Amino acid sequence: MQDKLHSTEKGALRLSVLDQAPIAEGSTGAQALRNSIDLAQLADRLGYHRYWVAEHHGTPALAGASPEVLIGPIAAATSRMRIGSGGIMLPHYSPLKVAESFSMLSGLFPERIDLGIGRAAGTDPQTTLALQRDRRQSSPDDFPKQLAELRGYLSGNMPQNHPFARLAALPGRPGVPDLWLLGSSHQSGLWAAELGLPYMFADFINSQGAQIARMYREGFDPSNDLREPRAAVAAWVVCADTDAEAERLATSGQMLIALLHRGQLIPVPTPETAARFLEDQDPYAALLERPRRRIVGSPETVKAGIEALANEYQAEEVMIVTITHDHEARRRSYELIAETMGITAQPAAA
């Protein structure tokens, strides 16, 4: 991979989108996927910097089981944003297959494709086993080896004595994706620093990540991919015209997460269903669940929350994930955020 990544110029905070393709109660996965393309087109017009789609399996709540399938249509329907995966769960796959898929996307959409890589399964153990080709035993925990092989294919610098060296002639060259490491733990931060990769921290999973981001920056080892550390943070955000309305919309996600902690999988409920559910909950039982940061409220409230988060992580970019039952409310949330944060669309890429 050419040394085409560099530190972002100091200036306005970048805002991006992480789309988990939520499936609303009473709707379908097919509609959720169409909603993703619609939201991406809106984000492209509003001035968001990148648009990533997540990978989740075996859940009626989220339709994004195959980011590489969704990235192509989204890139084709937009003209300016970078489009990518947030992320590809590498332990499920052959590094060669991932490299080939994202090489093809990069060939079709030059300088616009990101490959965000994660180590987590993104699902339960049974579904993880179902994703394996060989189910006689669990796959080995060899993520660093997988990642090294993937980087070898993408860079074209596979050692000549490697048994797969000739396979680095990927189909989409000269196009290559920008490689990111995703995570919510110290280990992911260590790997990103040691390998000289840009790092996206999932604050919506672990809200205690500022120290990990600082560790990443302090331990960063420059690479051919990146000369200086590039840290970004992904956050759970819901914005509406008033604090009260935003809190009402956010109850759908609260119920979804509460039941997920208990092993119950449901489509995204309506705010009315969620309000009834939350009223019946034991407040002491809720204290046992790991707290998650929520930035929820009016434009003024959300602006203050996003800026405080970026400052806490010393991040140059905040990636926003929003789940609401109503797609129009999700669109409106991203519109209000773009307006209050003052982002504007830049000219489309050539």
Q: Does a structural domain hold residue 125?
A: yes
pLDDT in tens, 136-165: 887 888 899 999 999 999 999 888 888 888
Q: What is the pLDDT of residue 8?
A: 37
Mean pLDDT of the chain: 91
Q: Does a structural domain hold residue 4?
A: no
Q: Does a structural domain hold residue 9?
A: no
The pTM assigned to this predicted structure is: 0.92
Q: How many CB atoms lie within 10 A of CB 100?
A: 17
Q: How many CB atoms lie within 10 A of CB 171?
A: 12
Q: Does a structural domain hold residue 154?
A: yes
Q: Name the domain count of the chain.
A: 1
Q: Does a structural domain hold residue 244?
A: yes
Instruction: Check whether 231 has a pLDDT greater than 60.
Output: yes
Exposure string of 279-315, with b = 16+ CB inside 10 Å and e = fewer, is eeeeeeeeeeeeeebbbbbbbebbbebbeebbebbeb
**Is the preceding peptide bond at 87 cis, omega within 30 degrees of 0?**
yes
Q: Does a structural domain hold residue 168?
A: yes
Q: Does a structural domain hold residue 276?
A: yes
Q: Maximum CA pair distance of the chain?
A: 63
Q: Return the CATH number at 283.
A: 3.20.20.30
Residue range(s) defining the domain that contains residue 125 = 14-341
CB 152 within 8 Å of CB 168: yes
Instruction: Check whether 286 has a pLDDT greater than 60.
Output: no
Q: Please list the alpha-helical segments (H only) found in 160-298.
A: 186-195, 210-218, 243-261, 271-279, 283-286
Q: Does a structural domain hold residue 8?
A: no
- Which phi and psi (to 5°) does residue 343 adopt? -85, 150
Instruction: Check whether 347 has a pLDDT greater than 80.
Output: no
